[in-house]
Structure 1
Amino acid sequence: MSPAKIKLDEVIRLFENDEVASCIISKDNLMTITTKSGEIKQHSLRSLDLLNQRVGDKIMAGIANETIKYDEERAQDMPFWTQFIPYIIAIALMVVLWMYFMNQATGKNGKISSFGKSKAKLGSEEKKKVYFADVSGCEEEKEELREVVDFLKNPLKFIQLGARIPRGVLLVGPPGTGKTMLAKAVAGEAGVPFYSTSGSEFVEMYVGVGASRVRDIFTTAKKNNASIIFIDEIDAVGRHRGAGLGGGHDEREQTLNQLLVEMDGFGNNEGVIVIAATNRPDILDPALLRRNIKVHAKGKPFENDVQLDVIAKTTAGFTGADLANLLNEAALLAARKQKRLIGMNDLEEAMIKVMVGPQKKSKVISEREKRITAYHEAGHAIATYFQKTQDPVHQISIIPSGSAGGYTMSLPKEDKIFRSKKEMEEDIVTLLGGRVAEKIIMDDISTGASNDIQRVSTTARKMITQYGMSDKLGPIVFGTGHEEVFLGREFNSSKNYSEKIASEIDDEVKQIVDTGYASAETILLNNRDKLEFIAQFLIKNEIMDGEQFKAAMEGETSYEALEAMASERRKRSEEENRLARERSEQRAKEESAKREEMLKKEKEDLINSVLNGEKELKKNDEDDNISFPDGDNL
């Protein structure tokens, strides 16, 4: 007996009323539901997220207790009538072509009305497919994009960890670096349609055309279970809103607003991923950048050592979207490692990825540069340790991340609304710790401190010109602070002071910086042994966490003892995930046994029913042939 076909509303009703005993989802999203009354029903989903939005809590609970799981077996053979589908499609195609030519001949839907149609090109032809193997280099970028491919191929693995399908990916780089090739490779690997267009194609002289084309391309893409929309040079429409002279609302902004609505509005765009490319990420609208990936923190499985309060302190100032992005990145990292639980190391790695950028472990750096980076970051950390107002060091790394060669991250103890003069002075000492360490050890300096020096200069100048922290010049604001917007960036600031005052401001700024440099130099010279120890540990292990740093600074310890700390944490994480995996596998076996027992019983009942039917027929035949003596018959 074939399972009964049901609609989506019936599926949702079964879940809401807790009538589902078990559910198996095949690779092509065919749901086979066994109700608690023993009925078997089937429904073919366009996207798992459609169901997850309506009864997400029920789905997550089912996945957790293994009543809902992914079946590796393909769906059953299609019904006999599917053999007529090609003929139906051919007839429909002929009708569509006939209508198209008739419309062209009669002038309907001509060029004027076609302005609102998207000019996106479908690039999924088999002979033009591109795969990751065709893209040379870009290993970290390909690794990041493999998550998108996995999501399109096997969304259930990510849903188990509470991750949602990405809304979009932004590829940044100069022309000719392979952004378009990478986008095509994602489509090729995932085996989904690939629609390519340019940001400039959305903008025309007619009002509303851009927004109409955005709606059209998403409508077209949503006709597939999954698809990719590639927008090249998205800065043509994604420029910061309100950046025009006078701040007027123009056609480009309407187009951007419609794009944001389609990516993250009220409509259902599950399975549609937007990949955009630009060489000007600095002028993109922040709302567009926030829509890369969004998740819900609810229902995520964590390891026992996860301290959400620590993550909350580290991410002080994050918006809700930023926190959601961080948690999703952690879930993706855990899934990539084939883990069943999200660990503290996953959250910290995701935090670095969100705040600094993805790690580039394959980036080739010389031993000399590695040594410079190690001493530079050790200098930051030690300078931080001896500043009373500074937050404790949480992690030090010399692995290139984003555009940084390494980083020293501190853990905020509390949210701060105001900053004192002392805090800002000690910020400068901490920032200059890297440059001072290079000078002490190498007797030379590098360009690695350029960002630190920029931040030092900005902080010192704001102390004088904006915060009135100069004893000589007094509590006066120099400059209006009014920033005029031109082409999406700050253009200039009005000047309301004389050249004499400008010279005095420069002198005050230099004095603050020189004082901070001298303090950092004194700290590092007095703790050179610690500087050597921490730098050598980083050269060998690349990462030092806050616990290891504290142990190195507070007492005599060895490299082996610090490495043992990290090893113990890894073992605990592996053991927790092993136990979680075993529990999951055991539940799967029990569920499989129950299902087999149910099928066996159904088979036995069917056989007994058939046998009873044959007995009844045989008995009826015998009754029909009964005869009596003397020729009397009933």
Structure 2
Amino acid sequence: MSRNVKILLLIGGLVFALVAVATCIRLFHNQPQEISTSEFINLIENGQLTKIHIDGDRIVGERKDGSGGVTTTSSKTMPLVIAAIEGQNQTIDYDEEVSDNKGQWLSSMINILFLVMLVFIGYTIIRSFRAKAKDGGGGGGFFGTGNMTQDKAVRLDGQSKKTFADIGGIDEVLEEVKEIVDFLRNPDRFRQRGARMPKGCLLVGQPGVGKTLIGQAVAGEAGVPFFSVSGSEFDEMFVGVGSARVRSLKKKLKENAPCVCFIDELESLGRKRGVTHSGGQEEKQNTLNQFLQLMDGMDSDSGIVFMAASNQPDVLDPAITRAGRFDRHIHVPPPDVRGREIILGIHIRNNGVPLTEDLDLAEVAKITYGMTGADLENLVNEAALEATRRNLDIVDFACFSEAADKVQLGLARKSLIITPEEKSIVCVHESGHVLASYNNPAHDLPQKVTCVPRGPGLGVTHFAPDSDRYLLNKEQLLAKIESYLGGRVAEEVIIGQITTGASNDLEMVKAYAMAMVTKYAMGSLGQMSFGKHAGGYLGQDAVERDYSEQTAQLIDEQVRKLVGDCYLRVRDLIDAQRENLLLVANAL
């Protein structure tokens, strides 16, 4: 369809719509007001009507004041209406045009023309979609709608040239993906030995650990094109668009082979297929089936490598993770203390951040426990911004310390005005956390405590272990519960009343206690776990209940007893060291 025809159709459709709207407004504006028969008779008897027309069971009258017409429908009460008219000496006019046949005819024609226009537009759009979907291509289509069938993969190799030198702290992961680079550089080396590379490499891990960066580095090291697409970009409201985009992606990859195709958020595309047959679910399944066929149709010698990232590997369909598709799964963990030191050095080098000569990155790495690569990149930038705010030419440890507090604890709200009474309560509360943790050898020592409001809290007590820890024993978990209870118990003992400041602490107490009883079998219910705990790396441990009401009652009793015992120990500690708690509170 030529461009001129499209423009004419568009203009004609707009004109038709304007005429239809204007006609409808005129028709509705001229419609008489519908009233009851008794009200109509009252208007006749009061002499408020000048002209009355009867058309079958329908009676229409015109008001004397010109404010519009009134109408009523009457069959059984028609004699009463006629009697009222005769009593006013008015003439009955049997005018057949009262039924407004002309208006009805015009309205019917508008409806018919509107329906024809919709059918024509729909037919043209569908024909355009089918023509473009045959070869998986995009193009114009009717009013440009054919572009919906184009894939959304973006070629990034010309914009960002990443290499393995930009990655640190995950040496084992790099060893795995270096094989992919060797295959792309020298595939004959593998073919001579009868080896084939996996078609797909799935990177799993929590957000920010560098999964996308690894994919870019693989393409950069191999010197091949890198295509990036999100799993959610295959979905569309129109049926068949997702499958067409998969076919379009296949065509693009074959034209640029050898290359790397990176799919972010694979769970959006490859989620487990269910038994529901709703329209949206069926369309997602069709898109997934088309993608599985795409991977099966790619030969291992094609030079096309699929890499994907997912934060929820447990929800992926088994068909997409089986051998021959995404058959190599690589877990990308958060960096340890040595890895964090290396990553800090990489970002400092890449950004050209000037440092003081005595700054030890190993010490900075210790105060960044639990941070991912993305967090560390943000930390370096925040430290540079802090140095700028202080008018420093170089960045020192104090800048990194303040940046770490901002990233981990939130922005300091120094301008927040709180009453002296509330500030005293906050100081006592935070001192309770300090006392409960400091006097428990199983707990990490407090790293920083402040009554300056940060983030949503009015005060913060921050802990950091001396070294990275991957296991916790029962005593350490109990110590965490007691530390969280320290603030509430301190309020109760020192202030004499409790406040809402411990709301988040109590949530953590419940979470740890429930995990000890239901997940780690650290209660007295035997060596078994309760509930099906979902995996994933999003920090949400969803639990599907698989036990009876009686067992649930036993679990509640165990949790209540465990928390109660911790509370009594903390209460005894704070009663015994009341003076030390007040010293800490006064210092704050």
TM band (smaller chain): 0.3 to 0.5
- TM value normalised by structure 1: 0.40
Larger radius of gyration: 2
- TM value normalised by structure 2: 0.43
